[in-house]
A and B are shown apart, each in its own frame.
Chain A
C-alpha cells in the first residue's frame, strides 16, 4: 500500500525529490537501528562524574574497549577494576522492550562497586513512580558479589524491600537486576576475573548474541524429531514383537504424524532469541536461579500436549529422562508461550515452555531426552504403547569453564549450516522439502507475482522506457520491493555459495532435494537461469539482488543530497573488473578443496550481513558492509562493479544469451557518449558497445535512447524537424 502510494505520488506533480528522500530515509533507518550502539560507543571515555558514582575511590578510567566493551579503572597507576554498560554487554532491555542502559563498576575481585542508570524508557515514569526510585534501586547494587549465586538471589529479594517505591515496576526492576548481574559476570569472565568459577563447568546463563532458528537448529541448540506414519508403523513392527500391533495404517506412510522440537532455553542465546527479550525476561523473573527451562514445540496430528492435562494437570504423553531420573511434566511447570519470536522458524502448531524446578534434579549440562508416548490399539484389543525419544546434548558453547570454553565459542556458523543441511538430507525425509513448499505457499505466490511483473517489464521494456517518469518510479519501487521483501523479509538473497554448492553437487552426486529445501531460492535460481540465457546476467544483478538494490537506492539518495559522484577513468575501470572474476575463481578453486573454507571465503559477499542477518553481527562484518555502502555513495554499485563473485560467476554462462534487446544507434560512441556516462555501472565502452559481462540491465540507457530531450541524435533530429516546421510556417506566413 505504501508502495502504491509512493508510486502514484511519484507520478503526480508533487516534488518527487522530497519523496525520494523520504524513501531513502525509510530504507536506511533499519541500518541505524540494527547497527546498535556497541560499535558507536567504542572508545567512549568515562567522565569523572560517572566514575565518582560508579567506582568511588578510583583515580581515573580508560575508554570503552575490548570485547565486550569495558573500560579499565585505575587507582595509583594500578588497575583495580572495570566499568561497562549493560546495554553494550548484554543488550539489556526493559519491560517496555526498549533498551535500558546502566553503567556498572566491578572490582578485580568481582564486587560491584556501583551502578548508575543512564537511560531507560520504562513505563513506570508514565504511571507516576519517581525516576529517583529507580535510580536509587540501581545504585543499591553496590557491594553485590557476582561470584555468589546466593548474592544474586539477594538482589532479587531486595526488590521486594522496595515495593512502595517501585510497585508496579517489579518487572523492570527484576530485569535490571538480571541484566546487571549477567553483564557483570560476562565482563568478569572475559577479563579473567572469575577464575575460581571458571574452574568448574557451568551453564552459560549470560551470553546473548542474535541467532535465528536455522542457526540454533544447525548448532544443536534446538533438537528435532520427526515422525511420519511410516516411522510409527516401522517402529511398532521392529520394537513390538506382537503381530498386528503395528500401526493400522490407512494414512500414507509419508504423512506427518508428529514432530517435536526441544531446547534448553535457560542460556539467553537460545531463550532470548526464541521468545524475544520481553517474554524471556518475564520467564526468568518467574524462575529461581537454579531452575531450568525447556522449550517444546510440536506439529502434526498427534499433539504432544494432548487434552487430558487440562483436567488432570499431568502431561501424559511426554516425559523427560536423564540418567536414572524420570521427570514428569505437570501443569505447574508449564508456561504459555504466546508466539515464537525468532526469525526463520517453521510454523509450529503447539509450543510451550516448562520450568524444571531445582528439586527435580535436572542437570542442564548432562544429556537428557524427551520421550513422546504413542498408543495403538492391537487387533486383539488393548493398548500397546511406544516411546519415541528426542535426545538433547547441550552444545559445548553453553558450557563455561573446564577446557572446552574458548574452542567451543569460536564462531563457525557455516560449518553448522552445512552440517544442518547434511543432516536434513541424511535423515532421508522425502517430505521435508515438500513441507517447506507447502508452508510457504504465500511467499511463493508473492515471489512468482514479482517475477511475473519483472518479466512484463522486460518484455515491454521499449514501451516502458519511453515513459521516463513511469520507468523511474517502476524501477525505484521494484528495487525497494527486492530489498525489503525479497531480501530482508523473505531472506531470499542468492549467493555465490549457491553456485559453489551446485558445482559441488554435480561433482559428488546431484540431488534435487538439496536445492528444493528452500523454495524461494530455488524459484529465483530457476528464473535467473532462464533470464541468463535470454538477456544475460543483468536481470538478476539489476533487479533481483537485494544488496544491489540497497546500493542503488542509497546512491540514489546520495545523488539527491548532491554528493559528488566519481567517474572512474575507463582505462582503470576496465582493469578493476577482473578482481571479481579472480575472487570467484579463487573461491571456486578453494571449494574443490573444502566447501567449508570456500563458504568462509564467501564472506567477501556482504549479503549475509546486510540482508540475511539485518546487520546484527559482530562489528567487523558490519564495518565491512558499511565501508562498501559508503564507497557506493560515490561510485554507484561499487561492490557489483569490482568485487561481486556471484556477478562474475553469472557472467560466464551469460555468454550464451540469445537476445540483444538493448538498442544502440549508429552514433553511439562515435558522436555521443551520454549513455556511457549515465550508465549505472559504467558498462558501456567508449566505443559505444555495451559490455554484457558488466551490464545490469537497468534500462537506463534505453530510457536515454528514447528521450528526445536528451539523446543527441534524437535531439538533432527533433531540431531539424522543428527548423523545417518553422521554415514551413515562415513560408506559409510569407505566402499569405
Chain B
C-alpha cells in the first residue's frame, strides 16, 4: 500500500542518508492461523522521505495504525517543522516567543539542551541564523565556495547560544536575532513518539524510517549503513547517520550543512557518522554532535549521551567503530 506523497524538495532533504533498508521477512513460526502480512507506507515527513513497514494479519488494523501514525507525524510537524508556515517553531522564530508551548516543544528543547551541554556547544539548535546566512550566500553566489565572509559569520554568531533560550512552562523566549532549528533532532524525536504510540497500541514488528530509523521489539530488521558492506541487525533500537556530502549548499568539497557554531564553518572530521542508540532522538542528536566534535572526544560523548555504538568514517575512507 502506498499513500501520501513524496514532498517537494526542501533545502534539508538531500543531506539525508543513503541507507537501504530491507526487512528479513522471516515469519514467526507457529504463529496464529492468520499469517502476518507486510504493509508499507511511504511518504514524507519533516522534509525527508519517510517509510513505515509493519506486519499484521489484518489490513484494516494496519491502515488504522498508519493513520494514527500520520496524525502524530502531522501534529509534531506542526510543532517542529521549519517547512510548515505557522508551525510552533516558526512562530517562535518570528515572534521571539511562544506562549503556552506544547509538552512536546518543552520536552524537545530540554532534550536539546542536554545534548548541547554534553557536546560542549557543538550541537546547538540556535545555529539557525548561521544556516540562513549560508543558505542566502549560496543562493546569491552559488559559485563562491569560500562561503560567507568572516565578518558576516561573526555578526550572526553573537546570536548563537543555546543557553539564552528561556524554556518556561508558560512561554519560551528567544533573544532578539535568535532563531532555532530542530532539524538535528526532531526527526528522531518524532520517530520515538510514533514508536511509543504504536507500542502503546500493542504493536511490535514495525520498522519506522522518518528520517531516522527505529525498529520496534520483535523481528530483526537488516539495515545497511553508508560505507559499510555488512548490514546491521536492528531490533528495539534506533540508528541515525549524519553525512556532510550531498549538502544543499554546494557539490564536492564545498561547505555543507553541518556547521559548527564556534568556528562558523562546516565540520571536517568525518565523511559520515552513524550512531546506534536506544532511542531515535539520542541517535539523531549524537550523530550530529559526534560529527561536529573533535574525534578525541567521540568515545566519551557517545557514552555520556546514551549511544551504544558509533561508526565514524573519515573523508579518506578509513573507519572507526566505537562500542560502549
Binds A, one of B55-63, B105-113, B242-250, B259-267: B105-113
Q: Is the CB of A308 within 8 A of B169?
A: yes
Q: Is the CB of B117 within 8 A of A380?
A: yes
* B35 partner residues in chain A, CB cutoff 8 A: none
Supposing A241-B306, A325-B75, A391-B200 touch, asked if A316 and B170 sit within 8 A by C-beta, the answer is yes
Supposing A243-B306, A326-B75 touch, asked if A383 and B103 sit within 8 A by C-beta, the answer is no
Asked if B160 lies at the interface with its beta carbon under 8 angstroms from chain A, I say: no
* B72 partner residues in chain A, CB cutoff 8 A: 324
By the criterion of a CB under 8 Å from any partner CB, how many residues of chain A are at the interface? 33
Most buried by B among A386, A387, A391: A387
* A316 partner residues in chain B, CB cutoff 8 A: 169-170
CA–CA, A319 and B102, complex, Å: 7
Asked if B45 lies at the interface with its beta carbon under 8 angstroms from chain A, I say: no
CA–CA, A321 and B117, complex, Å: 31
CA–CA, A384 and B118, complex, Å: 14
Closest B residue to A318 by beta carbon equals B103
**B73–chain A nearest beta-carbon distance, Å:** 8
Asked if A708 lies at the interface with its beta carbon under 8 angstroms from chain B, I say: no
* B254 partner residues in chain A, CB cutoff 8 A: none
Asked if B282 lies at the interface with its beta carbon under 8 angstroms from chain A, I say: yes
Q: Is the interface of B mostly helix, strand, loop or mixed?
A: helix
* B75 partner residues in chain A, CB cutoff 8 A: 321, 323-326
**A331–chain B nearest beta-carbon distance, Å:** 12
Q: Is the CB of B102 within 8 A of A326?
A: yes
Q: Is the CB of A324 within 8 A of B71?
A: yes
* B111 partner residues in chain A, CB cutoff 8 A: 240, 384-385
Partner of A328, one of B102, B114, B277, B282: B102
CA–CA, A383 and B192, complex, Å: 19
Asked if B157 lies at the interface with its beta carbon under 8 angstroms from chain A, I say: no
A347-393 at interface with B (beta carbon < 8 Å): 367, 371, 373, 378, 380-387, 389, 391
Asked if A11 lies at the interface with its beta carbon under 8 angstroms from chain B, I say: no
CA–CA, A652 and B10, complex, Å: 79
Q: Is the CB of A385 within 8 A of B106?
A: yes
Asked if A12 lies at the interface with its beta carbon under 8 angstroms from chain B, I say: no
* A241 partner residues in chain B, CB cutoff 8 A: 277-279, 281-282, 305-307
Asked if B100 lies at the interface with its beta carbon under 8 angstroms from chain A, I say: yes
| B 40-72 to A, binary, CB cutoff 8 A, 1 in contact else 0 | 000000000000000000000000000010011
Partner of A384, one of B79, B100, B110, B196: B110
Supposing A328-B100, A330-B100, A385-B110 touch, asked if A239 and B169 sit within 8 A by C-beta, the answer is no
**A375–chain B nearest beta-carbon distance, Å:** 8
Supposing A241-B279, A373-B106 touch, asked if A382 and B117 sit within 8 A by C-beta, the answer is yes
Asked if A33 lies at the interface with its beta carbon under 8 angstroms from chain B, I say: no
**A361–chain B nearest beta-carbon distance, Å:** 12
Asked if A432 lies at the interface with its beta carbon under 8 angstroms from chain B, I say: no
* B74 partner residues in chain A, CB cutoff 8 A: 323-324
Q: Is the CB of A308 within 8 A of B306?
A: no
**A705–chain B nearest beta-carbon distance, Å:** 66
A226-282 at interface with B (beta carbon < 8 Å): 238-243, 245
Closest B residue to A366 by beta carbon equals B71
**A221–chain B nearest beta-carbon distance, Å:** 20
CA–CA, A79 and B104, complex, Å: 59
Asked if A314 lies at the interface with its beta carbon under 8 angstroms from chain B, I say: yes
Most buried by B among A241, A314, A316, A371: A241
Q: Is the CB of B103 within 8 A of A371?
A: yes
Q: Is the CB of B103 within 8 A of A373?
A: yes
* B71 partner residues in chain A, CB cutoff 8 A: 323-324
* A385 partner residues in chain B, CB cutoff 8 A: 103, 106-107, 110-111
Q: Is the CB of A386 within 8 A of B107?
A: yes
Closest A residue to B283 by beta carbon equals A241
CA–CA, A367 and B279, complex, Å: 26
**A448–chain B nearest beta-carbon distance, Å:** 42
CA–CA, A328 and B106, complex, Å: 13
Most buried by A among B118, B278, B307: B278
Most buried by A among B100, B113, B200: B100
Partner of A387, one of B103, B118, B170, B278: B103
Q: Is the CB of B304 within 8 A of A239?
A: no
Supposing A241-B305, A323-B75, A324-B74 touch, asked if A382 and B169 sit within 8 A by C-beta, the answer is no
CA–CA, A239 and B282, complex, Å: 10
Closest A residue to B68 by beta carbon equals A367
* A324 partner residues in chain B, CB cutoff 8 A: 71-72, 74-75, 78
Q: Is the CB of A314 within 8 A of B192?
A: no
CA–CA, A367 and B75, complex, Å: 15
* B106 partner residues in chain A, CB cutoff 8 A: 373, 385
Closest A residue to B277 by beta carbon equals A241
Most buried by A among B103, B104, B170, B307: B103
CA–CA, A117 and B251, complex, Å: 84
Q: Is the CB of A389 within 8 A of B113?
A: no
Q: Is the CB of B114 within 8 A of A384?
A: yes
Q: Is the CB of A242 within 8 A of B200?
A: no
CA–CA, A325 and B102, complex, Å: 11
Closest B residue to A316 by beta carbon equals B169
CA–CA, A367 and B110, complex, Å: 28
Closest B residue to A380 by beta carbon equals B117
Q: Is the CB of B281 within 8 A of A387?
A: no
Q: Is the CB of B305 within 8 A of A242?
A: yes
CA–CA, A389 and B279, complex, Å: 18
Closest B residue to A312 by beta carbon equals B170
**B187–chain A nearest beta-carbon distance, Å:** 15
B179-206 at interface with A (beta carbon < 8 Å): 192, 196, 200
CA–CA, A443 and B242, complex, Å: 63
CA–CA, A308 and B282, complex, Å: 31
* A321 partner residues in chain B, CB cutoff 8 A: 75
* B118 partner residues in chain A, CB cutoff 8 A: 242, 380
Supposing A385-B103, A385-B107 touch, asked if A378 and B114 sit within 8 A by C-beta, the answer is yes
Most buried by B among A242, A319, A383, A385: A242
Closest A residue to B113 by beta carbon equals A382
* B200 partner residues in chain A, CB cutoff 8 A: 389, 391
Closest A residue to B75 by beta carbon equals A324
Most buried by A among B71, B78, B169, B303: B169
Supposing A319-B103, A325-B75 touch, asked if A383 and B110 sit within 8 A by C-beta, the answer is yes
* A387 partner residues in chain B, CB cutoff 8 A: 103-104, 107
Supposing A241-B307, A326-B75, A373-B106 touch, asked if A382 and B170 sit within 8 A by C-beta, the answer is no
* A325 partner residues in chain B, CB cutoff 8 A: 75
* A384 partner residues in chain B, CB cutoff 8 A: 110-111, 114
Closest B residue to A329 by beta carbon equals B100
Partner of A239, one of B100, B279, B305: B279
**B75–chain A nearest beta-carbon distance, Å:** 4
* A371 partner residues in chain B, CB cutoff 8 A: 103
CA–CA, A229 and B106, complex, Å: 22
| B 222-254 to A, binary, CB cutoff 8 A, 1 in contact else 0 | 000000000000000000000000000000000
CA–CA, A308 and B111, complex, Å: 22
CA–CA, A240 and B196, complex, Å: 12
Closest A residue to B307 by beta carbon equals A241
Closest B residue to A383 by beta carbon equals B110
Closest B residue to A379 by beta carbon equals B304
* A330 partner residues in chain B, CB cutoff 8 A: 100
Q: Could you jot down 11 A-B contacts, CB within 8 Å?
A: A238-B278, A241-B281, A242-B118, A245-B114, A316-B170, A323-B71, A324-B75, A326-B79, A371-B103, A380-B114, A385-B111
With A239-B196, A324-B71, A380-B117 already in contact, 8 other A-B pairs whose C-beta atoms are closer than 8 Å: A240-B279, A243-B306, A324-B75, A325-B75, A326-B79, A326-B104, A367-B68, A391-B200
Binding site for A on B (CB under 8 A): 68, 71-72, 74-75, 78-79, 100, 102-104, 106-107, 110-111, 113-114, 117-118, 169-170, 192, 196, 200, 277-279, 281-282, 303-307
Q: Give 3 closest A-B pairs by Cβ, nearest first.
A: A241-B306, A241-B282, A324-B75
Binding site for B on A (CB under 8 A): 238-243, 245, 308, 312, 314, 316, 319, 321, 323-326, 328, 330, 367, 371, 373, 378, 380-387, 389, 391
